[in-house]
Each structure stands twice: as structure tokens, then as C-alpha cells.
Chain A
């Protein structure tokens, strides 16, 4: 404050004297703008300008906004811990081996003559939900219920036959419940969206390889592809367990906010 007062030009002397005669400013009043001696360096009021480094000594910037953010995140973490079903990652039935690498995970199964790999990412895997308040028959608003968010990642199934040079890749997606309030949805739990062959020798995905989109695929062929997956334990049960596993992984990875 004393340093700032040193910048006030002497021409303001009578005005300052006049101000001294009035009541002292309320403590919550923001400090008046100060003008340094050098031209063109007017300082704006400190409403939006953050204060200096936190006196805790960490050297970082701590603002009121940061404090409110931390409080909000702490509440969210407590809520997540409350609804967290699994302390450990749930196991998939059918002998799948899990390899997790951050947000990406692989489930691998080896059977006679084939290696089946299911790859998925938990990033952007939670579909949006529509929160709504319902009115009870008495007309009173009911509090929003805490809904459990389920991760339903799209997943890629890769089937490689032993000594095979090609991998059959099927891109699968969970059903999208477009309208939450509809009655029972009448679509498959998951669907195959694209089918592709990739060379096992190439480390990179080749966009130039032909991709079959199932939108316009013959229904009978589509059913054969679904049966193909079913024979390799990629069925509705698998899809249900994968969603549970992905949700548990998402909880695990999302806890980075704790740090």
C-alpha cells in the first residue's frame, strides 16, 4: 500500500486531503485504482485480476475460484466413492486376460487356432444422461436421484487365426438409448458397425483397406457375423461384463482428480 501511495502525483494533494475528511472506506470496498508515474500503465481495478501467490509458500496461484473448484471436486469424489461398486476390477467370465494401459485396455483370449483381442478405451465412454426433476402426484418436486453412470465404450474385436497374415476386425458399439423415457428399447445390446481386414504384419492401421459398413449390409450376413462373435464368447453377456469392467476402470482412472 505504501509503495502504491508513493506513485500518487502531488497534484492530487487537495483531493486526497478532501477525501481524508470523509468516513474511512468500508473494508470490503475494493481499493481505488492507482496510477503509476510512467504513462500508459494504468492499472485496472482488481476485481478480475487474481491476487498474488498464496502465502502457503507453495509458489502456485491460489484463487477463490480454485478453492471453490477443489470443494466441488471433493464432493464429487465422495459421491463417486459412495456409488463405486467395485473396489477391484471385476473379472470377465470366459477366461479373458486383461491388459490395461491407462485409459486403453485389451481383453485377450487364445483358443485352438485363434487369438481374439477386444480393445476399448474408457475415454468419452459414458453416454450423456438427461437429468430431469419429476413432480410427484402431490405436485411437489422430487429431488434428483443420483444415477449411476455406466461406461459403454465402443470396442474392436480382432480375430487372428494362428499362422494367419490377416486379422478380421469388427468395430462394435453399444446401443444408444436415444430417448430415455421410451418404453423397453427393442435393439440389440451391441451392434457391429464396421468390418475390416488388416494385415497382422503392419503395425499401423491402414485406411486404404476395404471397410464394410453394416448399415446397408444384408440382414442374413449380419446375423452370421453376430453368430461368429457369439462363438468366440463376444455376446450379450460379454457386453454386459465389459460395461461393468469399463465403468470400474473409469472410476479408477478418474480418481486422478484426487491428486
Chain B
């Protein structure tokens, strides 16, 4: 139900209201607006720390997702038994890394939404460890972003498009 946005870093200015507005649209497109979600913006130091602890990769990255419901099949909706379990989990956005990776002409705020959408798909069980899994995830991301583009007038492309 609630979307919590937190900004723990000082490196990159964050516009919270537009981020919230677009993520709410993506939540509604994916049909998970009843679930709580947290988006936490962190800098390179913190995202690298998390990457090292949880994925044993000592480098910063763009997004890390921590699902509340683990082992979901890709695209499967959680079936909570209790009201407190209406929670998808946490998405950590490495906003400094995302900013540094922005190419010329790209809107940094748009890339944040793309990263958040990618993270949201991970929370719903999508992965991209194999080509087959990637295709499924890419399809889902594209569906969500195409609909967002239609509703919000944006021109966003999936984050996973270049992975395979």
C-alpha cells in the first residue's frame, strides 16, 4: 500500500515527488499497488558495501533488491497470509552510480525510474541469470515501461536490454 522513499546520500540531488509519482504508476501497471514498497537512495560507498555483503561483489552498482517474499516464481504474485505480509521489499538505488552511468542526452531522473522498475521486477521473482530468464524479465520490464510511457509521456527503455 505505502511507498516509502528515503534519501540517505548527499552526492546527487533527488526529486522525490516525481520519482514517487512514476513508481506509483509502475506499481499500478504491475498490479502490486496493495503491497508496501521501500525505495532507498544511496551513494556509491553504501551500494558497494551492500553489494559486497550480499553478492560478494566489491563494486558499486545501480540497483539492489531485497524481496520480502523470497523464492517467488517469475511473475507470481505473493499470497500473504497476514496483513503485515503485504510487502514487496526494499529497492536500493545506487543513485551516484546511476548518475555516473548516464549517457549524454539521457535524463537522470528517467533512468532512476527505469532502475526502480528493474528492481521491482526482481522483487516479483524475475531474474536474468540465464538467457531464458532474461527474456522473461526484459519482456515484463518493457511491458511496464511501454505503458508508463503511454500514461506519462516518457520514452523509457528497460535496464535489462543490454544484459544479453
Contacts and interface: CB of A to CB of B under 8 A. Distances in A.
A236 B6 contact: no
Contact of A230 (B3, B15, B20): B15
Contact of A236 (B7, B40, B49, B50): B7
A188 B13 CA distance: 13
A226 B46 CA distance: 22
Chain A interface size, as a band, is 10 to 19
Interface in A220-250: 220, 223-224, 226-227, 230, 235-237, 239-240
Contacts of B7: 188-189, 226, 236
A236 B20 contact: no
A224 B20 CA distance: 10
Contacts of A204: none
B20 A237 contact: no
A186 B6 contact: yes
Contacts of A220: 17, 20-21
B15 A227 contact: yes
B156 interface: no
Contacts of B9: 236
Contacts of B143: none
A239 to B, nearest CB: 8
A89 B77 CA distance: 55
B46 A184 contact: yes
Nearest to B16: A223
Given A230-B13, A235-B13, A187 B6 contact: yes
Interface in B34-71: 38, 40, 46, 49-50
Given A236-B7, A236-B10, A240-B10, A223 B46 contact: no
Interface in B10-30: 10, 13-17, 19-21
A187 B6 CA distance: 6
Interface of B: 2-10, 13-17, 19-21, 38, 40, 46, 49-50, 90
A210 interface: no
Contacts of A88: none
9 contacts: A184-B46, A219-B5, A220-B20, A220-B21, A223-B5, A235-B10, A236-B10, A237-B10, A239-B10
Contact of B8 (A189, A219, A235, A237): A189
B100 to A, nearest CB: 18
Contacts of A237: 10
B25 to A, nearest CB: 13
A185 B8 CA distance: 9
Given A186-B6, A189-B8, A219-B3, A226 B16 contact: yes
5 closest A-B pairs by beta carbon, nearest first, are A223-B16, A236-B10, A223-B17, A237-B10, A224-B17
A186 B6 CA distance: 7
Interface in A106-157: none
A50 to B, nearest CB: 54
A152 B79 CA distance: 43
Given A219-B3, A227-B17, 19 more contacts: A186-B6, A186-B8, A186-B40, A186-B90, A187-B6, A188-B7, A189-B8, A189-B10, A219-B2, A219-B20, A223-B17, A223-B19, A223-B20, A224-B17, A230-B14, A235-B13, A236-B7, A237-B10, A239-B10
